[in-house]
Chains A and B, each alone.
Chain A
């Protein structure tokens, strides 16, 4: 009796959870790879200042001269504003520098950790000491 319940509930949860990675395309597999730190320098093309994550998009020129659009995922508006970054600080057309982790699925998406604005101001989006790209540890 107890076994039957356990099996059925387990199957229900199991099916539901494994549907997620199997059917997820881009978004799910785009968890970030802690060993793939990268620095992007580019012009802001779009800002999505929303919960639960903000997104800002950069046109980044690679060393071959080709331009590609990259998405940078940041914390929510609350987390960013507590670190000194306000919605208006990111202006379209500005050139900004983003240090972050690349997405595991290799797509043009980073988990933005340190953002450096044109005026030189730099904001760390992670938790100080967590060892992320751009972490000063203080």
Chain B
């Protein structure tokens, strides 16, 4: 099944039909997406600022990361579910939209690097080979998620 046929299938589901008809469905889902985005972004920012040595530098990174991980995973789940729901309202537009494609492309490395950082930080007190590597990872993570956010906003503007 190609990606195109996946989107075409999705465009014809009962869910999509409901979203097309509903006057408020998309708006409500999007609002949850926005609030979750704010919370997710804040949590990711804090963890990576700790990695950069800027936030609570005297506390172990693992303590901060572990403390915030339920929030990070919870809001990420909400973002994923609400995102998939929003696509159903305009599946073919999303498929063809350059910003949406960028967002999907950037989301994968963003998620992977966040996962890898989280995995290392939770497991070991010296998660990175050097301080420079840690800072590079933090900057890369923040830059990727920021780019995901920009691409997401751009979907509506293109």
Assess whether A123 is interfacial by the CB under 8 Å rule: no
In the complex, which residue of chain B has the Cβ closest to the Cβ of A128? B96
Secondary structure class of chain B's binding surface, majority of residues:
helix
Q: Which residues of B contact A29 (CB under 8 A)?
A: 23
* Tally of A interface residues using CB under 8 Å: 26
- Asked if B97 CB lies within 8 Å of chain A CBs, one says yes
Given A31-B23, A31-B27, A126-B93, 12 further pairs, Cβ under 8 A: A13-B35, A16-B31, A17-B31, A20-B27, A21-B27, A28-B27, A31-B26, A33-B20, A127-B97, A129-B92, A130-B92, A132-B93
Task: Mark A4-45 against chain B: 1 for CB-CB distance below 8 A, else 0.
Answer: 000000000100111011000000110101110000000000
B10 interface residue per 8 A CB criterion: no
* A131 engages B32 (CB within 8 Å): no
Given A13-B35, A79-B158, answer yes or no on A129-B95 (Cβ-Cβ < 8 Å). Answer: yes
Q: Taking the nearest CB of chain B, how far is it from the CB of A130, in angstroms?
A: 4
Contacts of A35 in B (CB 8 A): 20
- Give residues in A with beta carbon < 8 Å to B: 13, 16-18, 20-21, 28-29, 31, 33-35, 75-76, 78-79, 82, 104-105, 126-132
Does B93 lie within 8 Å of A104, measured CB to CB?
no
Task: Assess whether A13 is in contact with B32, with CB atoms less than 8 Å apart.
Answer: yes
Give 9 nearest A-B pairs by CB, closest first: A21-B24, A130-B93, A129-B96, A127-B96, A130-B92, A29-B23, A34-B20, A127-B93, A131-B92
